[in-house]
Structure formats: structure tokens, C-alpha cells
Structure 1
Amino acid sequence: MSVTSHSKKGLLLIAMLAGAGSAGASAQTQGPPQSDLSATIYTSPAETAEMTEGPEVKGIISARSDDKVQVTTADGARTVVAVNDATKISASKGLFGLGRSKLAADSLLNGLPVTIRTLQSGGDLVASRITLQNKDLRTASMIHNGTAQRFDEQTAATEALRGRMGEIDQYNVKSTTNVNFDTGKAVLSAQAKNDLCATATAAEGMDNALLLVVGYTDATGELEYNQELSEKRAGRVVNYLQQACGWKPYRMLTPTGMAEADPVASNDTSEGKAQNRRVAVNVLVSKGLDGL
């Protein structure tokens, strides 16, 4: 593990740019965006009586948008079905589906296995009946509620921190930890893993500390390849910090890949190249908040 304050001006510029993107990074921890379901028709209960019987759709709800659901079947096919006031939604209560309870449309959660009987109008499908299992609904509800709670907590913490830092564009670099990589690789060594968690633990003790992760390569190879490799290395470090070291995503600025820029040693020697194949984990505290 090495600590340095190398090229602080360049680092601060990266931090400013990353700070502007941190909102997007936080949003990414909340999962992929909903699919575009806009192709589905809107129908009233009266209109469904004039439709013909459509195919039965069985699979997992993979997206939800207003009165439309997307179901992904076992073979990966995706089908969009409209849900209206005439749609009957029920969950089986007992063995072999004996006994059923009626449900509201807001019970159709992402990840829920369903079987849908449909009506067809042209190329569009409308759900006439949706059935599911109570045990699946309980599981989906637990996941949904737990995830929503974590996202709410994270969003609140992010906004509180961003609100205090909104007018500040300068940081104190409290420390920089470099972890190194083999040529062409993005695999963390045992030493690197230990150093990363030690850095996270030290930063955790600093109020208002953020981490800025920047990946680098040596000068070997094409610039485009090195750019991708530096980004991959940075991403690998971010994942380990969050998943293994417990660092909160909302305290992580957007990671950056800088390819072979800003070397810490000469690329003319193998020793220098080894030092340049690195990811720098910078512990930053806003100058306006440092010491608070």
C-alpha cells in the first residue's frame, strides 16, 4: 500500500467532474430502468368484451409502467400486457390452488411469477385474469419493501451530504492508496484487497469523507485498450470497496479511468511500469467541511 499526494490539481479536477456525476452513480444502485411499454393499448372494461381470446402468458414480471406489465417467459421472450379495471387478479391460498383471494393491481410487483389469460385486439394484449401464488407474492413484497427502504435511506443520506457540499468545489486530499495490477489484468491481489479495506476503515473514521477511485495503466499497448483497462480496474476496485469492505455507494464519487496519463514513475523501466499499473483510491474531504 502506498500513500501519495501526486498531481493534486489534476485530481481535484477529476473530483469536480466526478462529483457532478455522483447523482447518476447513486441512481444506478437502484437497478435498471423500466422497459419501454408504450406500445400497449388503453382499453375500458366495455371494450374488452369485443376482443378475441389471446394466448396464455406465463413467466416473471420483469417491468411495470402504469397500467402495463412486461412478462419474461422461461425462454427469455418478453410480452407486454395491459391491465385494466376488468382484469381479475387473484392469488391461490392453499394446496393445489384451493381458495383464492382477490388482489389490487398494485400487487403486481417486479419479480413476481404470474400466469395471465389474455384478450387480443390486433397485435395488443389485455389481461382478463392474472393468477399467482401467495407465497410468491409474500417473497416479492419482502424484496420490494426491503429494497425500497434501503433506497430511501441511501437517497436521504446522499441528498444530505450533497446539500452540504453543493457550493464547494475544492477538496482536501487526506490520503491516496495505490493498489497495483499485473500487465493487462484487472484482478485484485490479496494484498490489494487488504489495503482497500484498510483504506475504507480509515476513511470511515473521517466525517464527510468521500472516495474517488481512478484507474491507470502503463504505456504498453494502444490508448483505446488502455482506456478500457483503466476503467475496468477502477470498477473492480469500486465493487470490492462496496461489497467486501462495506463502503456506502453514496459516499463514492463516480470512478474514472485515465489510461496511461499521470504516471507516478517512468514507463521506460519494468519497475516504473509496475508502479503505473495502478488504481488510486483518494480519500477526499471538502475544504469547507474538513474538521467538522
Structure 2
Amino acid sequence: MSTRTVSRAAARLLLVLVGLTSLAALASDPAKTKLKGVITAVQGDTITVVDQARTAHIVQVSADTVYKKTKGLTNVIHEKTDASVLAAGLPVTVEGSAAGDALAAREISFRSEDLRTTRQIQAGMAPTTEEVGAMNKRMDEFGTYEQLDAAEVTFDSGSAKLSAKARGDLDTFAAKAKQTHNYAVVLQGFTDSTGNAAANQRLSTQRAAAVANYLQQNAGLAPGRVRAGDGMGVAPDAGSGSNGAARKVVAKLVVDKGVQAGVKP
């Protein structure tokens, strides 16, 4: 047997002995754990790793955790890095010990090729992240309305009948509404300060209902888009006595910011 053959055999034996020694060390310390999986979340000093059995494991990192980026087919060549490279989607091997329900990481290693692929995927997801941000903003704005247009129509004293001018103004208002995506119409009826409070409340409600009916039945707005009119009683700017400008219905064209910004007429 040649000297070279003996050397190779000795090297193989040495590797076997090293492997057996490592296994013995792990067996003597059952708290030591080796976990392979993919990072699914990174939150401060805690990362979540899902293994091949699709079981999620909580891993805690610290200032003592060592991060290794391996290279080559054998992964023997490696260089140290830091926790900033950890990201969702990165396959890792974690070595550490149990710490309650978590695993305290002593070492986290990953292949440089996997890190490069993960970064490429993250870069490709950037537009999606922006879209998610926009969607979250819209979710926060549901129920927040933006007024795009308004119309006021006035009534004769004690009346809820629409005049010819009022009908024309509502037709113009309805035409603008039809050009707006996901619109809604909000109606508020008012009276002047003459008469008693109960009568004014009824009359303001009747005026708002008259406008709602006209917009739906004559101006062609979808019933679901016209909110039930609110009777507001005496107008805030009614002053005292008879005031023609206070005998009105205010129609507002609005959009829900959380649905769509709308198209301003």
C-alpha cells in the first residue's frame, strides 16, 4: 500500500472519529439542537423558522449568535456576517439549545447562493410591498369621506315641492355623480326658523326625501348610491324669521377614500 493511500485512509478515519465525537457530544447534551428550515418571519431578536414537516419554530438570536455564510459544493468555505442579512425566504441551519419554548441560537448558517436568491426575490417583491402599503392605507380610510361636489336647492315656505330650477340643478348634480366611480350622495334637509321645532323637523325630513326621490326616480341615480336623507330641522344660518336661503336641501357628492379616490368632476 502506498504512502498516499495510507494518508487518505487515515484522513477518512479521522473524519469518522470527528463525526463520532460530535455525535457523542450532542448525545451527552440533549439540550443542543440542530434545526434546518426556512425563515418565515424576522421580528427583532426573534425569527420564525419552518422545517420540512411545516412545523414553525421560534428562534432567539443574541449578541453571541454567530452567522456564517457558506460557499462551494461542500459548504466548507465560509465567512462570518451579521443578523442584518436574515430575511423571510432564506433557508438556514440553526444550532443552539432549548430556551423554554424557543431555541437559543448559537450559530446560524446559510448558503451564499440561497442568500443571493432571497435578495433577488425580495427585490422583485418591492412593488408588491408598495401595493400592500397602499392597500393598508385604504383599509385605514374606510368610512372616511371626501366631498367632490355639492348642490343646494331651495323651497318655498312650508313646502317640500321641488321647483323647476331645483330640478334642473339636481339634474346637473346627478350628471356629475354618474361620472364618478363608487360615489355616494348624502342629503341634509333644513328649514328657516319660523314655526315650531317639531314641524320644522318633519318638514326638513320631507324636503330631504323629496330630493332623494327625484335623484333616483327622475335623474337616474342608483338607489343604492343615494343615502336616506337626514332632516336637520332649522338651518344653522337661518337667522330669525323667514329666510329663503335656509329653506333648503344640501346634496353632497362624496367617495369613501377606502374604496376609491373617485374621479373629481
Structure with the higher strand share, 1 or 2: 2
Please give the range of the TM-score, normalised by the shorter of the 2 chains.
Answer: 0.3 to 0.5
What TM-score results when the alignment is normalised by the length of structure 2?
Answer: 0.44
What TM-score results when the alignment is normalised by the length of structure 1?
Answer: 0.40
> Which structure would you say has the larger Rg?
2
